[in-house]
């Protein structure tokens, strides 16, 4: 890849980690809203289990907790793996 230096330089540029954290939090917010909506609709046979260990009630709060916890854990593990692997990248930009 080549560097594109022809464009204007933005003084208040948003850093990469800040964008990743913002998107992560936005996805968690969406998971909470969707879990709440699922809890309100309350389809039959909906019995959430948190990590196959903790039974949660199929209420809006229980479904929001289930959604935020499962999505947050899944994406959090992936982000930690990417952070760990990126430490060994020789071509990274500091």
Chain centroid to Cα 41, Å, comes to 24
Residue 20, both tokens = 């990743």
| Residue 29 located in a structural domain | yes
| Residue 62 located in a structural domain | yes
| Number of domains composing the chain | 1
Res. 81: pLDDT tops 70: yes
Average pLDDT over residues 35-60: 88
Determine the pLDDT at residue 3: 56
Q: What is the pLDDT of residues 24-35, one digit of tens each?
A: 999 999 999 999
| Residue 32 located in a structural domain | yes
Q: Which residue has the tokens 């039974």?
A: 55
Domain of 65 in residue numbering reads as 16-86
Determine the pLDDT at residue 7: 47
Burial class, 16, CB count within 10 angstroms (exposed 0-12 / middle 13-18 / buried 19+): exposed
pLDDT band at 16 (very low <50, low <70, confident <90, very high): confident
For 81, the 3-state DSSP assignment is: helix
């Amino acid at each position: 890849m080549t560097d594109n230096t022809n464009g204007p330089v933005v003084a208040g540029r948003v850093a990469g980690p800040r964008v990743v954290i913002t998107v992560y939090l936005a996805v968690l917010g969406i998971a909470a809203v969707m879990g709440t909506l699922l809890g309100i609709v309350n389809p039959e046979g909906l019995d959430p289990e948190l990590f196959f260990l903790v039974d949660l009630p199929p209420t809006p709060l229980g479904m929001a907790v289930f959604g935020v916890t499962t999505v947050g854990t899944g994406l959090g593990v992936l982000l930690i793996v990417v952070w760990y692997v990126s430490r060994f990248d020789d071509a990274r930009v500091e």
